[in-house]
Structure 1
């Protein structure tokens, strides 16, 4: 008896909800994914912020193929000199050679520790901050999402998401993203503040310039490290290569993943050599990973970085983002928030939005909501999307709204 792939999906793949999309995709190219039934879907969320250069970008595929012909995993992280890791680390350091680095307490970020994912980058950064400062209190934001492992989950800012996994890490305090008065909670007991420049899963919350600059000064004044989580915002999504560039600040530790790999799994936490060097002693091998910085993923990431910079995709994201803001006007939409190609469209309720999302998917446009803001639609297409393709997707949404 033939058993469908869909049935095997439900029988053998661990499920994390009772309502997965369960769309079977046969292939993907550019901004489109194709179902086994011949249906074409425009990916308006980039696989949740991953496919910044689209699916199977030719430069990424070529880099992967070239590395496959050389070697795969050779040794645990940091022991062998592997060209893909070295070249990518150098290229990342170049993107961080910015004038505002001169104002940061520990100078320019020039050391990269590669991981397999964003949550691993968060975990490594938390350890690094504790080891460097000798403190243990970590501050994060309400309604923030930094990952699902136990340390990263401790930082997450929605109680419903973590209450059934307690006890979690002690010493974690939370502040409200964008609220100036809460910055007084950052003290000489604080090892680090972990914050997204733009609150992602909170529904794309864009803070003021004054807020982030005051946050930077506060961390400097009390000796706390500023850890900026650019796992969603990095690699060009908000109109600059790194979102923090738009606020004239500079982190002590920077986190990246998602759009970094061109579709391959990779993450990183980055700091100055002074900060990162504490992992070398007391104890030696203070942070270890087996597969972090996999050579194929690093090759794909370098091709992604080069493509974004050479084609100025981060700059074109600003113009395309304005198109979303101006075109997506409808009485059912209460507000459009965001920067670049990282946008949220707010609706009356989750129930209203869910019908819209389901109908859009039926019409071939993939969108979604946010973990901690389920009445807002996620709009974050690949940076490579053309204006014509974007207009087509937005018009589909408007048509669906007119039918409600």
Structure 2
């Protein structure tokens, strides 16, 4: 082992060396992504959706499903291209990343969704991080302004969805992921308003979204006039009282990034408590790739969710660098990555270029069950890069 690797990093390794799945997984991802880029033009031509620009999943007949930029998933594929460029420094990925990111930029003005954070930050945000292009900077700031219009200071949160008959002001746990855009916008603009909104949202969510065991509800509905909690329910989970797997991952990742941006120890403690719930749960499979819901009634025959596992692994790599439990957190993330790399990857040259199989999108709606999904690939690549940086004695986060 390189003697220059810091002692602190050695504590985060297993068996005296740092695990690094990237050396094999990234070349595989490159070949798969080449395949996908070749398949996209025909898929766009065949798409029934106008202005389709990004791949999302496979249809039940195995065809590539393309989506418009307004879809909440649209920014993940450009983000994957940025990650491939970051690891390889190959300009072909830079060219592709720029082209597919351009397709998402109109979303900086979409005031009708909280997902502007997902769409813009995963694409344009990574583009700015790696190129420092002034144009990307302006897009990020504008997107943060747009997202901020959905903030209600009485509630203390950003509204997730509009036009929901039974929910006047729904806030979903997924919304924690959009706070990264706001934190970045304050750093880029000097306007502290974005940071304050993010902190308010994180604090209110921490107060109302979590149960005593630190599992999370999916949806909290508020009275927009008083800020009172009206409903605690689910939309994508098994039941209102259950722990939807990807939702637990959103919370874990969200509070980890909030600690990074604020150094508020309450957020670190929240992330650690969520991690304890997830990884000590009796229904977590041995390979640490969760069932779509920790309380699904048909466990062990319930569908898995590789996207939740990839998301959790990426969060755990970052959390490992902040926590006194870092050694165990990194081992857990490594275990997940071994499982995903060995048993959840697509066969080479198949699945229209997707990297991971066996994700679950929206089980209650019988939608995207046991399929590849672009956000699974995005967080898998992100986790690979984070693991690689730790293996090389570098900071897990590159800003």
TM range, normalised to the smaller chain? under 0.3
Structure with the larger helix share:
2
Normalized against structure 1, the TM-score is what? 0.27
- Rg comparison, structure with higher value: 1
Task: Please identify which structure carries the higher strand content.
Answer: 1
Q: Which has the higher contact order (CA 8 A, sep 6+)?
A: 1
